[in-house]
């Protein structure tokens, strides 16, 4: 099997699964209970929180565990706006955001909020000037992804943070889900108020994420019925999942120290093969971008058919984001980058991990070249 869909999800590490099983079996008590079993579970949860804080270089009190990136993004956005309702009804995001941000803002528009969707250039990047010009007296929140989940474009988050630091009434939320463990980002240097990461993007378990909340910042909770997670997120704490996430992130950062350079080499190999091909069109930035995400189009071919045919050979890639991959619509992200509908409607995404190899890349391309003639016949029929 050749797995090249790591931006959709990653295979959990064996050590992560072992941590989950051990904590589940030994520390099954409710972490909010006052008896010994509860206090033992609470200690494990606190250790996981402390480790995540250490790895992210932030305060322990700023770490909230949630059920996933979607919940974290919704809590950051809606929780901010509900807690600062009088501060302004204008918010800023980009035209290329993940569905968990883009659709959240669309729902807020229906509630009367004014949303500015910043345009992006042909590389999927936002202009700092455009961001500055979009700010009004009513702006209360800016929400932008660090690494685009479809193309791997890296936004200039640190420069954005420097700009927004001069506007203390505006909260700065960053979706770091695709960048965590692959593209370094300093929360403090970037003056980030809220930041999302999700465990299953770095070989943790699905259903666990972290929302960083700058100390002193208040959010209105989306869930009511408990005082867990500093009162921001009611519900029984998932101790085993949190411990497994901390384990996974520690392992990912350790692998990144030596693995990022290898990922960059694989990315360059991918790009060179795409550029040389007469049938493929590169959509990702050839020089700059996340080392693990490459987006390409195959004009004249249906991407869902390409994905299925490759899967029959046990080679796994994707079309758009996994959250949007069942849609037959052209990629909203690529259209925003100025790609035509043919390119936006024939794109596939290759996403690597530190376990990917040069041999896998070679096998992917040779198999794709062998399959394309038969896929074309399917398209014509």
Which is the catalytic residue, given 37, 322, 323, 372?
A: 323
Q: What's the pLDDT score for residue 379?
A: 40
Can 96 be counted among the known catalytic residues?
no
Q: What's the pLDDT score for residue 228?
A: 77
Q: What's the pLDDT score for residue 88?
A: 74
What would be the CATH architecture of the domain defined by 2-7+256-380? Answer: Alpha-Beta Complex (3.90)
Range(s) within the chain of domains with CATH label 3.90.1150.10: 2-7+256-380
Q: What's the pLDDT score for residue 378?
A: 43
Per DSSP, what are the bridge partners of residue 297? 281, 347
Q: What's the pLDDT score for residue 207?
A: 94
Q: Which CATH class is domain 14-250?
A: alpha beta
Half-sphere exposure of 24 (CA within 13 A, CB side): 8
Can you read off the two tokens belonging to residue 183?
């593209």
Q: What's the pLDDT score for residue 328?
A: 67
Q: What's the pLDDT score for residue 375?
A: 82
Of all helices (H) and strands (E), which one includes residue 117? strand 114-118
Instruction: Please name the residues in contact with 344: beta carbons below 8 A apart, sequence gap of 6 or more.
Output: 297, 330, 331, 334, 335
Average pLDDT, the chain: 92
Q: What's the pLDDT score for residue 227?
A: 75
- Dihedral sign of CA atoms 54, 59, 61, 64 in order: negative
Question: How far is 294 from 273, CA to CA, in rounded Å?
Answer: 12
Q: How many CB atoms lie within 10 A of CB 140?
A: 22
Can you read off the two tokens belonging to residue 25?
């079996």
* DSSP secondary structure letters along 287-328: SSS-TTEEEEE-TTS-HHHHHHHHHHTTEE-BSS-TTTTT--
Counting as low any pLDDT under 70, the low residues of the chain are 84-86, 320-328, 376-381
Can you read off the two tokens belonging to residue 77?
């956005």
Question: How far is 27 from 112, CA to CA, in rounded Å?
Answer: 46
Q: What's the pLDDT score for residue 326?
A: 53
Q: What's the pLDDT score for residue 325?
A: 47
Range(s) within the chain of domains with CATH label 3.40.640.10: 14-250
Question: How far is 179 from 157, CA to CA, in rounded Å?
Answer: 12
- Reported as a single tens digit per residue, the pLDDT across 101-121 is 999 999 999 999 999 999 999
Question: How far is 212 from 354, CA to CA, in rounded Å?
Answer: 25
Q: What's the pLDDT score for residue 55?
A: 98
């Amino acid at each position: 099997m050749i797995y090249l869909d790591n931006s959709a999800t990653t295979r959990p590490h064996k050590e992560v699964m072992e941590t989950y099983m051990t904590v589940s079996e030994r520390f099954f008590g409710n972490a909010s209970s006052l008896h010994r079993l509860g206090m033992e579970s609470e200690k494990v949860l606190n250790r996981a929180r402390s480790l995540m804080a250490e790895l992210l270089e932030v305060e322990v009190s700023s770490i909230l565990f949630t059920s996933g990136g979607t919940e974290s993004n919704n809590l950051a956005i809606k929780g901010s706006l509900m807690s600062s309702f009088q501060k302004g009804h204008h918010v800023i995001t980009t035209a290329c955001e993940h569905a968990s941000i883009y659709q959240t803002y669309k729902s807020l528009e229906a509630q009367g909020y004014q949303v500015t969707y910043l345009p992006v250039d042909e590389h999927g990047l936002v202009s700092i000037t455009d961001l500055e010009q979009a700010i009004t007296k009513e702006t209360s929140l800016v929400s932008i992804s660090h690494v685009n989940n479809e193309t791997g474009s890296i936004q200039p988050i640190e420069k954005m943070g420097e700009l927004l630091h001069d506007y203390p009434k505006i909260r700065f939320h960053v979706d770091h889900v695709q960048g965590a463990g692959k593209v370094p980002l300093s929360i403090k240097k970037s003056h980030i108020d809220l930041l999302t990461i999700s465990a299953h993007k770095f070989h943790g378990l699905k259903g666990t994420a972290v929302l960083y909340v700058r100390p002193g910042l208040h959010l209105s909770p989306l869930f009511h019925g408990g005082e867990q997670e500093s009162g921001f997120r009611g519900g029984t704490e998932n101790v085993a999942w949190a411990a497994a996430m901390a384990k996974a992130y520690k392992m990912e950062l350790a692998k990144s120290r030596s693995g990022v350079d290898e990922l960059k080499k694989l990315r360059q190999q991918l790009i060179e093969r795409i550029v040389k091909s007469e049938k493929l069109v590169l959509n990702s930035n050839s020089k700059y971008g996340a080392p693990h995400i490459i987006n390409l189009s195959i004009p004249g071919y249906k991407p869902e058919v390409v994905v299925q045919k490759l899967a029959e050979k046990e080679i796994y890639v994707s079309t758009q984001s996994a959250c949007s991959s069942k849609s037959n619509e052209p990629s909203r992200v690529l259209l925003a980058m100025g790609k035509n509908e043919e390119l936006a409607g024939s794109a596939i995404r290759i996403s690597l991990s530190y376990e990917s190899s040069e041999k896998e890349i070679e096998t992917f391309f040779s198999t794709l070249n062998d399959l394309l003639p038969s896929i074309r016949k399917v398209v014509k029929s």
